[in-house]
Amino acid sequence: MKFVHIADMHFDSPFVNLSERETLGDKRRLEQRKIFKKIIEYIKQEKIDNLFISGDLYEHKYIKQSTIEYINNLFKEIPETQIYITPGNHDPYLKNSYYSKYKWNENVKIFQGKIEKIETQEADIYGYGFNDFYCTNSGIEEIKIENKNKPQILIIHGTLNGANIEEKQYNSMTTKQLEQIGFDYVALGHIHKPDYINNKIVYPGSTVALGFDEPGEHGMIVGNIEKSVDNETKIEIKFVPLDDEEFVKKEMNVTETNSKEELIEKINEI
């Protein structure tokens, strides 16, 4: 089964730090839309079966209905693709949230605050969504894998191997715990930097760079997962960059710089 895995889109983010710099905040919000459309076009062209969205699709406090309609209209363009959304700490499933009160397209499944299993011909897919801005226990330790003849997939938002109290407020899990349960692929969200453990426990990172503290490439995970007759799992994943803009950290010596104009000239040189 072919899939695309994204997380931490943060639609309608205020981009507090960027917004102080002229129109950078507005520019990033437009680029969010452009990149999301690019994801949908990729899914169309490659005939992707499943789209996993592992939380923080939007900002609950700032999201506009027009943005929700924009997202859902794009979902309508891929009716053959099943879309699974697990709300995170920035877009929890609340009574007044758009997850609850908006009529999403038929191919969209939104998980709520209780572990749920969806059985398809291709895989068993487990999901859990935040129902508040914090989560200290999703209950994943209660999952028992029953059918090892097809891929077992978990879609969830949270902290992996959280060490301190703050990290543990965001659905802390351990690598050992996930491996012991026996998932073939864990589609994670929450950490904004791509991170893969044995190609099975995966953070795709934020889809677009959300600030100067998120350097490097940002994009999506494209994968294919198959189960052989002897129950061996074959997983192939690749990271596909999507964001045309990239924040890069540079160092320069300004000791002998005597004016703003001279500083600007030096910056432009690099």
Percentage with pLDDT > 70 across the chain: 97
Angle, CA 68 vertex, CA 16 and CA 94 arms, to 5°: 80
Q: What is the mean pLDDT of residues 162-173?
A: 84
How many C-beta neighbours within 10 Å does residue 245 have?
12
**What average pLDDT does the chain have?**
92
One-letter amino acid identity for 116? E
- Asked if residue 152 lies in contact with residue 123, where contact means CB atoms within 8 angstroms, the answer is yes
pLDDT digits (tens, 9 = 90+) for 23-78: 777 888 889 999 999 999 999 999 999 999 999 999 999 999 999 999 999 999 99
- Topology adopted by domain 2-269: Purple Acid Phosphatase; chain A, domain 2 (3.60.21)
The secondary structure of residue 141, as a DSSP letter, is G
Q: What is the mean pLDDT of residues 89-97?
A: 97
Tokens for 167?
A: 């990290």
pLDDT at 77: 98
The secondary structure of residue 191, as a DSSP letter, is -
Residue 20 has pLDDT above 70, yes or no: no
Q: What is the mean pLDDT of residues 209-213?
A: 83
| Residue 20, Ramachandran bin (φ over 0: left; ψ between -120 and 50: alpha; else beta) | alpha
pLDDT at 16: 60
Q: What is the mean pLDDT of residues 249-263?
A: 89
pLDDT digits (tens, 9 = 90+) for 213-240: 888 999 999 999 998 877 788 999 999 9
Q: What is the mean pLDDT of residues 254-267?
A: 91
Tokens for 262?
A: 């001279």
Q: What is the mean pLDDT of residues 119-129?
A: 96
Residue 153 has pLDDT above 70, yes or no: yes
Q: What is the mean pLDDT of residues 165-192?
A: 93
